[in-house]
Structure 1
């Protein structure tokens, strides 16, 4: 039976990904996955393109999250999401505007990625976890930025 608490727990999982990413807590971020969980990164529709990268397992995921260290600051802002629970499995899609800031050749730079996460979740040890996460970059915008 699907409950409101299942939906909330899954939404908390999605928000946890963003929080751990922005705080550079890569081990905790990897811990949101099942032991064999994976992330596949796409530029465009995953139904019509091959992934640019596939990362599988806690150790590989934690290592891959080191990429965030290359930015001075990031903010992953989660938007709308859909969640469909079926017993101990669920699927969902959520939207995120991921903002990355760094300095390049003395110029502050802002990169905004419009991301859709297409997820498969499983209840693992009584908690919801990602088992498969497709990170789909729908568009990006890179530009000079100035401090306010």
Structure 2
């Protein structure tokens, strides 16, 4: 493995981690800069397609709507594997996402185990996510006594 490939892999890992950091801090406009303008984003829960968004503007609107319903986010990234082919790459990453929402006056903690399949492109010297498919594999909700 060359030094250049290691550098590219680190940049892609940083992209995934920055997505988590910025999302947890509700910096949605900054999160959107991590995606290509012509992004596609699909979400599956329990094997069912629950979201299918095209374009960064539409995605930003959806993210803001969702974030308005959440009191606290916490994301922990795990494995991240990528295969780089010039200015494109494919990757798989795993995350644990926790969200606290208020439901009927009570705080509810939702805990998600997520696998993301990404297609990355390098544009103007910077890696961005062009296509993402999120698979919410395990979903658990319970009262939060935090």
Give me the TM-score of the superposition, normalised by structure 1: 0.90
| 1:1-148 mapped onto 2 (5 Å cutoff) | 3-44=5-46, 51-66=49-64, 67-147=66-146
Q: What secondary structure does 1:64 align onto?
A: helix
Cα distance in 2, alignment partners of residues 6 and 72 from structure 1: 35
8 Å contact 1:81–1:94 — kept in the other structure? yes
Between 17-26 and 134-143, the greater mean CA deviation after superposition: 17-26
Equivalents in 1 of 2:32, 2:83: separation in Å? 23
Q: Is the 8 A contact 1:36 1:58 kept in 2?
A: yes
2-structure distance, mates of 1:29, 1:83: 20
Deviates more, 1:103-112 or 1:131-140: 103-112
Structure 2: gaps spanning 5 or more residues: none
Number of equivalences: 143
CA offsets 1:12-61 (integer angstroms, 9 cap, x no match): 1111111121111111111111110111111245xxx6x32211112111
